[in-house]
Amino acid sequence: MNKITSLTFTALLLLASPVTLLAAQPVGNSIDVEGVMRVAARKLAAFDLSQQNKTNFPTDAKGAQWRTVGAPDWVSGFYPGSLWYLYEYARDQKWPDAQAWRARAETWTAGLESQQFNSSHHDTGFVMFDSYGNGYRLTGNPAYLPILNRTAQSLASRYRADTGTIRSWGKIDDTNKFIVIIDNMMNLELLVWASAHGGTTSGGTSAELRKVATSHADRALELFFRPDGGTYHVVELNPRTGAVLRKRTAQGKADESIWSRGQTWAIYGYAYMYEATGERRYLEASLKAADRYLALLPADFVPPADFDSDLKGLEFKDSSAAAIAASAFLRLHRLVEAPALKKKYLDAATATLRSLTSAPYFSKGDDKASLLVYAARNYHTDPNHALTNTSLIWGDYYLLEALLQYRAITTPPAKNK
């Protein structure tokens, strides 16, 4: 999500290559944002109604029913976050049920309160910033602030100065192996934000939280990027020296291939770090990853699960990666200064959103629990496998996020009467 303030996406966004994309297409409000939001409202409300226990969170779906997970799972914040995005849109558009969306979001967010103390994985940024973070941005609820700051402290406890990074996977005290994944770039936002809102490391200072985030981002620049702008998924380090033991994949096709969702985590994460710090090296990293992604995209702007895949067919695509990319490209549109670059990334986002809000990727009917279909948790050669040819809750979350940004950019401000 974007840097939290009391402002809406609209106010935020009004501040502020090797591929030629849609050069002849004018930028305009050509995506049916209202129509998508209405479908999203129906589907999100249906899941809420189906769940007596508001601590079972959707994760993936092959059909009309979401599979669910508990609060500690890394995906648990995406459904509450989606509810907050619906509330934001409903409030701004003056839907009569806007307060009902806020109430739903508050109820589901409350089910994650215990996760502020979770230091067993690095994804508490996803879990808590998408839920409590969006809630704080939109309501200013003072009860949310200490929860976010305590979460940042838990996340920072996984940092080790010997490696200069936050441990992504594994036990916090593992002395044999230290695993870092590119996904971790998405959790740095919580640390930077908390450092500006009174959060601290355990026994430390707010400045140390920011230092942890920048240290991780800088080391990841060394560890994950290939010369062509492609990224690795997993890097294993010696926990005592920080030396690289191995670079590999866990969810892509091969160690040297480009797992498409990992590439979008890099684009998005480094774009945020540039916005938060003003450090040019982070913008350059995001642009490098973005240009590699764009150079490899198929004509419909929805990538395969792995860019080195030779599998054909929609069932081997990852619409969730495309949704993340669309949101990241809209951020880059805001951040770059050159008009040609601004157009390039806005056009890329627009083309991606056109695909994602149309058949075959967008599902209007109740036969699918989700908005987006044809997504992949992992690269897999069997379209019937649980990890591919599915729907993923974070795909829907980032689609809604991107649509809010898109609308803010392309809809002229209302004239005073």
Would you say residue 14 has pLDDT above 70?
Answer: no
pLDDT at residue 251, rounded to an integer: 98
User: Which band of pLDDT confidence, cut at 50, 70 and 90, is reported for residue 416?
Assistant: low
Q: What is the mean pLDDT of residues 364-388?
A: 97
Q: Is the model's pTM score more than 0.85?
A: yes
Q: What is the mean pLDDT of residues 404-417?
A: 80
User: Which band of pLDDT confidence, cut at 50, 70 and 90, is reported for residue 414?
Assistant: low
**pLDDT, tens digit, 9 for 90 and up, residues 19-33:** 333 333 334 448 999
Give dist(CA 139, CA 134) in Å, integer. 8
**pLDDT, tens digit, 9 for 90 and up, residues 169-186:** 999 999 999 999 999 999
Q: What is the mean pLDDT of residues 294-307?
A: 98
Task: Concatenate the DSSP letters of all residues of 15-80 into one string.
Answer: --------TTPPPSS-S-HHHHHHHHHHHHHHHHHH-SSTT-EEEEESSSS-EEE-TTSTTTTHHH
Nearest by Cα to 413 from 5, 114, 6, 14: 14
User: Which band of pLDDT confidence, cut at 50, 70 and 90, is reported for residue 7?
Assistant: very low
pLDDT at residue 412, rounded to an integer: 72
**pLDDT, tens digit, 9 for 90 and up, residues 21-67:** 333 333 444 899 999 999 999 999 999 999 999 999 999 999 999 99
Give dist(CA 237, CA 246) in Å, integer. 7
Give dist(CA 201, CA 212) in Å, integer. 9
User: Which band of pLDDT confidence, cut at 50, 70 and 90, is reported for residue 384?
Assistant: very high
- Give the residue extent of every domain in the chain: 9-410
User: Which band of pLDDT confidence, cut at 50, 70 and 90, is reported for residue 153?
Assistant: very high
Residue 107 CA neighbour count, 13 Å, CB half: 16
State yes or no: is 174 an active-site residue.
no
Query: Over the chain, what is the mean pLDDT?
Result: 93
User: Which band of pLDDT confidence, cut at 50, 70 and 90, is reported for residue 17?
Assistant: very low
Domain topology for 9-410: Glycosyltransferase (1.50.10)
pLDDT at residue 217, rounded to an integer: 98
Would you say residue 400 has pLDDT above 50?
Answer: yes
pLDDT at residue 13, rounded to an integer: 35
Q: What is the mean pLDDT of residues 289-310?
A: 98
Give dist(CA 65, CA 58) in Å, integer. 9
Instruction: Pick left, alpha or beta for residue 223 (phi over 0 → left; psi -120 to 50 → alpha; otherwise beta).
Output: alpha
DSSP type of residue 365: S
User: b or e along 279-303 (b: 16 or more beta carbons within 10 Å of the residue's beta carbon)?
Assistant: eeebbebbbbbbbbbbebbeebbbb
Would you say residue 413 has pLDDT above 80?
Answer: no
DSSP type of residue 2: P
Q: Residues 47, 61: contact at Cβ < 8 Å?
A: no
* Residue 8 or residue 85, greater confidence: 85
DSSP type of residue 317: B
Cis peptide before 360 (omega within 30 of 0): yes
Q: What is the mean pLDDT of residues 379-392?
A: 97
Q: pLDDT over 70 for what percent of the chain?
A: 92
**Phi and psi at residue 289, to the nearest 5°:** -65, -40
CA 150, distance to chain mean position in Å, is: 21
**pLDDT, tens digit, 9 for 90 and up, residues 191-231:** 999 999 999 999 999 999 999 999 999 999 999 999 999 99
**pLDDT, tens digit, 9 for 90 and up, residues 338-357:** 999 999 999 999 999 999 99
Q: Residues 262, 325: contact at Cβ < 8 Å?
A: no
Q: How far is CA 31 from CA 158, 212, 316, 363, in A?
A: 41, 39, 25, 15
Q: Residue 63 has which token pair?
A: 């059909």
Instruction: Pick the catalytic residue from 123, 130, 318, 347.
Output: 123
Find the range with the poorest average confidence among 2-16, 191-205, 307-321.
2-16
pLDDT at residue 415, rounded to an integer: 61
Helical pair 339-356 and 393-410, crossing angle rounded to 10 deg:
130
By CB atoms closer than 10 A (0-12, 13-18, 19+), residue 177 is middle
State yes or no: is 173 an active-site residue.
no
3-state helix, strand, coil in the chain (%, to 5): 50, 10, 40
Would you say residue 15 has pLDDT above 50?
Answer: no
Would you say residue 68 has pLDDT above 90?
Answer: yes
Instruction: Pick the catalytic residue from 60, 130, 183, 318.
Output: 183
Q: Residues 376, 318: contact at Cβ < 8 Å?
A: yes
Q: What is the mean pLDDT of residues 89-108?
A: 98
